[in-house]
Amino acid sequence: MKVLVPVKRVIDYNVKVRVKADQSDVDLANVKMAMNPFDEIAVEQAVQMKEAGTAEEIVLVSIGPEKAQDQIRQGLAMGGDRGILVHTDDEVEPLAVAKILQKIVEEESPEIVLLGKQAIDDDCNQTGQMLGALLGWPQGTFASDVAKEGDKLHVTREVDGGLQTVALNLPAIVTTDLRLNEPRYASLPNIMKAKKKPIDKKTPADYGVDTALRLTKVKVTEPPKREAGIKVESVAELVDKLKNEAGVI
């Protein structure tokens, strides 16, 4: 069984994001970049499936600049087999990403597409669902557990009311949540081996996809600074402030 894992290059989650002076976008100059954490979880899940004998090949895909190869190499060092870089220096919205992935899926014919539920830079949480709609495949989103049983893929989903388990016919789309697993650190020998694994280079034009933006970014601003708290002398004073100042009781 082949597993396709899309990965995105984003600002490292440990970095404090800066907004450009003109408020047009986030400042990416001299900023540490990394693999989207949810995608890293997806890579780990694919590798675990391969180790369990469920998957035979893991193909990593990234849509972005030339340096997105770094994130593909990271996935290859974790246990991926080969990569595909769809090179573009432009911003690509979720619909265009889903259309490119649709074309790649049609070429590669994977049984499962495993991807993070959302990227931490735009928080769209749309690509997996859009890809499922374009392909007409069943999908299990926000997965906290994935297990193949017979010809079905059982996905435990995190929903507002608790957990929901769905049985999907293959091929299927799965988007990963935080509690699915803890990604491994790639060993030095595997990092060296990853440098020799193949990465095919493509462009959106190779798949006939128009990546022109459909949304206009009006303004980017930093969140308001958190105000300092206050200390109260008694429970009665706390209740009074919650009731009369905060208005929460």
Percent of the chain with pLDDT over 90: 77
pTM, full prediction: 0.86
**Using an 8 Å Cβ cutoff, are 127 and 134 in contact?**
no
pLDDT for 66 equals 95
What tens digit of pLDDT does each residue of 191-239 get?
999 999 999 999 999 999 999 999 888 999 888 888 888 888 999 999 9
**Using an 8 Å Cβ cutoff, are 164 and 200 in contact?**
no
Confidence tier at 248 by pLDDT (50, 70, 90): confident
pLDDT for 171 equals 95
Q: What domain range includes position 57?
A: 2-246
Give the number of other CB atoms < 10 A from CB of residue 162. 7
Confidence tier at 113 by pLDDT (50, 70, 90): very high
Non-local CB neighbours of 13 within 8 Å, separated by 6+ positions: 34, 37, 120
**Using an 8 Å Cβ cutoff, are 128 and 141 in contact?**
yes
What tens digit of pLDDT does each residue of 67-107 get?
999 999 999 999 999 999 999 999 999 999 999 999 999 99
Tally of residues, the chain = 249
Q: Calculate the average pLDDT of the chain.
A: 93
What tens digit of pLDDT does each residue of 31-62 get?
999 999 999 999 999 999 999 999 999 999 99
Is the bond preceding residue 171 a cis peptide, omega within 30 degrees? Answer: yes
**End-to-end Cα, the chain, rounded Å:** 56
152: domain CATH number is: 3.40.50.620
Total number of domains in the chain: 1
